[in-house]
Amino acid sequence: MENNTEVKHEVTLYAEPIAHVGNFQITNALLTSWITVAIIILFVALLKTKLRNVPGKLQNGFEIILEGAYSLADQVTGDRKITTRVFPLAFSIFTFVLINNWLGILPFGSFGLLEKGAEGTSFIPFLRSGTADVNTTIALALCAVIGSNLFGIVSIGAWKMFNKYVNLKALGSIFTKVRKEPMILLTAPIMFFVGMLELVGEAAKVASLSFRLFGNVFAGEVLLGAMAAIFAYVLPVPFLFLEVFVGLIQALIFSILVLVYFTIAAQDHEEHDHAETLEKEVEFEMEEVAHA
């Protein structure tokens, strides 16, 4: 009898498991994230050994990139002190996201496991972009949002940070200003509930950061898979270069928004509205570039 076994490869929303260590499940997205961290560590170690007073090619190239990134961060924060404190985190996130995005679209995805199931044999690639797994993007978004609030507590104090969300100062002004300004009876409760809405806004930041990055990277991998299925050699090449560009833009958007969130957290409530306007402008402009 002739045995024809069709191997299926379907891009799933969830990361596929490729190994187990006890009860711990290692997925292809987790493996890619580990490889990304290893690449960053190796590059930093190599760069450290090459540091000289007279920079070589590697050090000189990295310094140029770093100076350009610092200049861009200054334009976002508007304050060199905030940039100096937040830049290491934002640049680390940018590097992690960028390498993850690019590893997921490399031809190494053709290496993997064959898993037999009731519906036939399926192919599971060893590498899948960590940012194409929503668990990774949610974790990054949570770190960014929680970190920005902790940064706000350190920068302006716990009481001012608390009043951004639970505006007790607005309610207290009812008793001190009601005689001179009767309209305070109307405006103060509104200001209080607007502050409560900020809590909803923090949750929205997590959803916005995580699902934007996950959606764009996952869609790119689906697109490349579909093009490769139609014609494996020539057709996917233009889309591959497109996804390289999209991966860079998405990493840039994520890291810049992290800078914006930290900048907002470091400002008093009076400056808060201006910072929110900055956030919206940055999101709009970066999305325009991403879809250009």
Tens of pLDDT, residue by residue over 17-35, are: 887 788 888 888 888 899 9
Q: Which residues contact 228 (CB under 8 A, 6 or more apart)?
A: 235, 236
The per-residue pLDDT of the chain, averaged, comes to: 78
- What pLDDT score was predicted for residue 242? 82
Calpha distance 252→58 (Å, rounded):
22
Q: Which residues contact 102 (CB under 8 A, 6 or more apart)?
A: 244, 247
pLDDT band at 77 (very low <50, low <70, confident <90, very high): confident
Percent of the chain with pLDDT over 70: 74
How many alpha carbons lie under 13 Å from residue 21 in its C-beta half-sphere?
3
Largest CA distance in the chain: 96
Q: What average pLDDT does range 217-245 have in this prediction?
A: 75
Calpha distance 20→17 (Å, rounded):
8
pLDDT band at 266 (very low <50, low <70, confident <90, very high): confident
Q: What average pLDDT does range 131-136 have in this prediction?
A: 90
Q: What average pLDDT does range 153-165 have in this prediction?
A: 83
Task: Give per-residue pLDDT as tens, 170-215.
Answer: 666 666 666 677 776 677 677 777 777 888 888 888 998 999 999 8
Percent of the chain with pLDDT over 90: 21
- State the first-to-last Cα distance of the chain, in angstroms, to the nearest integer: 54
What pTM was computed for the model? 0.80
Q: What average pLDDT does range 133-161 have in this prediction?
A: 90
pLDDT band at 141 (very low <50, low <70, confident <90, very high): very high
pLDDT band at 219 (very low <50, low <70, confident <90, very high): confident
Per-residue pLDDT at 60 exceeds 90:
no
